[in-house]
Structure 1
Amino acid sequence: MSARIGSLTVVGSGITAISHITLEAMNSIKTCDVVFHVVADVLTESWIVENSKESKTLIDFYIPGQHRRITYDAMKDSIVREVKKGRNVCAVFYGHPGIFVNPSHSAVKELASENYPVFMQPGISAEDCMFADLGVDPATNGCCSIEATNFLVYSRAIDTTVPLVIWQIGMVGDPTYDPQPKTSKINILVEKLCRYYPPSHKVCIYEAALYSVSRSRIEWCELIDVGRCEINGISTMFVPPLSSPEIDSYFLTKLGLSIDEGHIKSIP
C-alpha cells in the first residue's frame, strides 16, 4: 500500500522555555501546515504561534474533573483528523513527546496503521534535567522510572540498589484532570515506599526550571516527611539507592573481571 497524503511529526518543546526546542523541532514547527501544541509556558506558546503557518492549542481539551483518558482521546482525534485531510501536521508536547504523552503515541499508532507517514522526534524530558541537576548517571548501576499511581496499584519487585524515579506524584490516585495537585493521597505513596525504605531515607522532591533565569527546585527530606512538602503538578520524586548491589561472583569470574572499590577491572 502506498503512503497516504498527509503526515504527522511529533516533537517536544523540552522543559526550559524555548531554549530546549531542538533545531529539528523548530524546522518542523516552521514548515508544517498546522501545529497543535500543549506546552507549559506562555513564552514557548508565543514562539510557536509566531513561527508556525497555523497553530491550534490542545489545552482547551483539559476540563476539570474529566477523566484524562477522554481528554487524551479528544486531543488525538483532533490531530488525526487534520492529517487525514491531507495536511502535514506537527504536534508539540511539553518535555519529551514520547514520555507520559498518551495522545502522541495513540495518534502515531493509528496513523501508522493506515500507512500515513509518521515521525517522533526526541526532546528533553524532566528526567533528563533531573539527572543533570542532581549529578546522577542512570547508566552506572541502572535506574527505575515509574508513574506514581502505577507504582501503587501494581505489585512488583523494587530493586533498592538502583535509583527510583517516581513521576507525577502530585496526581497520585487521581485519573481525572485537576489543575490543583492532589496531595491528600501522597501519604499512601509514602506508606508503600516505607515497605522498601526506612522512614528516615532521604529523598528529593524535584521540579525542573521552566525558565533559563530560574533555578530547578531540589528539596531533600526524609521519606516520612514528604507529606509535609509542597507538592505540585510537575513534582517528581527521586529516591536514591538504599544499598549497593550484590556481586555475582559466577559471572564476574567467567568474564575474567574483578571489582575494586566499586570499579570493574580486568584480571591481569
Structure 2
Amino acid sequence: MTSSTDRRAPDVYIVGLGIKGIEHITRETESACRRSQEILAVPTLPAGMTYLRNLCDRVTDLHPVSYKEDENRLNAYDTMSAMVLEAALDHPPVTFATYGHPLVYVYPTRQILDAAPYLGLNVKVLPAVSALDTMIIDLDFDPAIDGLQMYEATDLLVRQRPLQTDVPCMLWQVGAVESVLYSSAPNSPERFFRIKDYLLRYYPPEHEVAAVYSSPHPLFEASVVRFTLGDMEQHHDQLHQGLTLYIPPLTRRSVADTDLIARIESVDHLKSITHDRDAL
C-alpha cells in the first residue's frame, strides 16, 4: 500500500464502485481509472461495465472467468487477484474495481496487498461507499447510540462467537451461511436451521429482525424484510446471498459508572483532563 515515504506512482489502484451503480463512484476513483492501462472489475450491473469502458479502453469483467458453480469461492478470489497482479506486472498501472468498498468483505484486495511487496508492486487503495454505509440509511440507524457488533454469518457459527444482546448486530452474508461454495441455486429452509438455533440462545423467538439489501440501482428502493427470529427459515426464498441480517438490541444497557456520568458535563472535570490553553 502507498505510504507517506513512498512517492512512486501506483502500479495497482484498488477501488470500490459503491453500491448504487455509477452514482456512488467518486471523482478520485474516476481519476484512477482514467490513468489505468486496464480496469479489471467485478461490477453489480452491466451499466457499470459500460461506464468503466468510458474511462479506459481496456476493461475486463472478472465475474464470468472467476466464479464456477459448486466451487469454493476462494478459487474465484485466487483467480481475480492473480489476474490483477499479472496485469500490473505486464502493463501498469491497472485498476481492480469491485462493488462496494474495496476493503469491506473483499478478500482479493487482501491477497493483492499481501502479494504486492514480494512482486515489487506499489498499491494504492481508495475509499468508497460500502454496504454498511447504505444499510445505515436503509435502517435509519445510528451506531453511535448503542454501538455495533458485526460478524460474517458462517464465522459466527464456526467460532461460536458470543453476542451482546444490548448492542445492535449485523450478520453479513447470511444468505450464504454454512458453505464456502459458490452457488446460484435458491436457498431451502434447512440452510437457516443452525444459525436460527444459535441466535435463539441469545434472543427470544418473538424478537423482530430485518434482512437488508441496499438497492444497487437508483430507480429501485432498498429491500428490508422484517420477521421474527423464530420464523427465520420461513423466509428462505427471500434470504438471498446479498442480504445482511440486522438484529436490533434486545435491551438497553444501564449506566454502570455513576461517578463518570456525574462528571461528563463538568467544566472542572474537562479542565482536569485537558491542557491549559493559555499555557500552550
TM-score scaled by length of structure 1: 0.90
Render the CA deviation track for 1:195-238: whole Å, top value 9, x for unaligned: 00000001001110111111001121111112112111211110
1:69-88 to structure 2, matched below 5 A, reads 69-88=74-93
Q: Which residue of 2 aligns with 1:121?
A: 126
1:159 has 2:150 as partner? no
> For structure 1, which runs of at least 5 residues remain unmatched after alignment?
258-264
Q: Which residue of 2 aligns with 1:42?
A: 46
The structure number with the bigger radius of gyration is: 2
Q: Distance in 2 between matches of 1:237 and 1:62?
A: 24
1:1-268 to structure 2, matched below 5 A, reads 7-59=11-63, 60-183=65-188, 184-229=190-235, 230-249=238-257, 252=260, 256-257=263-264, 265-266=265-266
Q: How many residues are paired up? A: 260
- The residue identity in structure 1 corresponding to 2:26 is T
Assess if the C-alpha contact under 8 Å between 2:168 and 2:247 holds in 1.
yes
Shift of 1:267: 8.5
Q: Distance in 1 between matches of 2:135 and 2:18?
A: 13
3-state DSSP of counterpart to 1:140: helix
3-state DSSP of counterpart to 2:95: strand
3-state DSSP of counterpart to 2:209: strand
Shift of 1:251: 5.8
Q: Distance in 1 between matches of 2:128 and 2:9?
A: 26
Q: Distance in 1 between matches of 2:48 and 2:259?
A: 50
Shift of 1:123: 1.2
Assess if the C-alpha contact under 8 Å between 2:37 and 2:92 holds in 1.
yes
Assess if the C-alpha contact under 8 Å between 1:174 and 1:182 holds in 2.
no
Render the CA deviation track for 1:155-204: whole Å, top value 9, x for unaligned: 22211111100111110001111123444311211110100000000100
Q: Distance in 2 between matches of 1:249 and 1:13?
A: 44
Assess if the C-alpha contact under 8 Å between 2:17 and 2:128 holds in 1.
yes
Assess if the C-alpha contact under 8 Å between 1:147 and 1:166 holds in 2.
yes
3-state DSSP of counterpart to 2:143: coil
3-state DSSP of counterpart to 1:48: helix
Shift of 1:4: 7.9
Q: Distance in 2 between matches of 1:163 and 1:36?
A: 36
Q: Distance in 2 between matches of 1:233 and 1:49?
A: 28
Change beyond 3 A, Cα 1:187–1:65: same
> For structure 2, which runs of at least 5 residues remain unmatched after alignment?
1-5, 269-280
- The residue identity in structure 2 corresponding to 1:187 is F
Greater fraction strand: 1
Which deviates more, 79-88 or 244-253?
A: 244-253
Q: Distance in 2 between matches of 1:135 and 1:250?
A: 30
Change beyond 3 A, Cα 1:181–1:107: farther
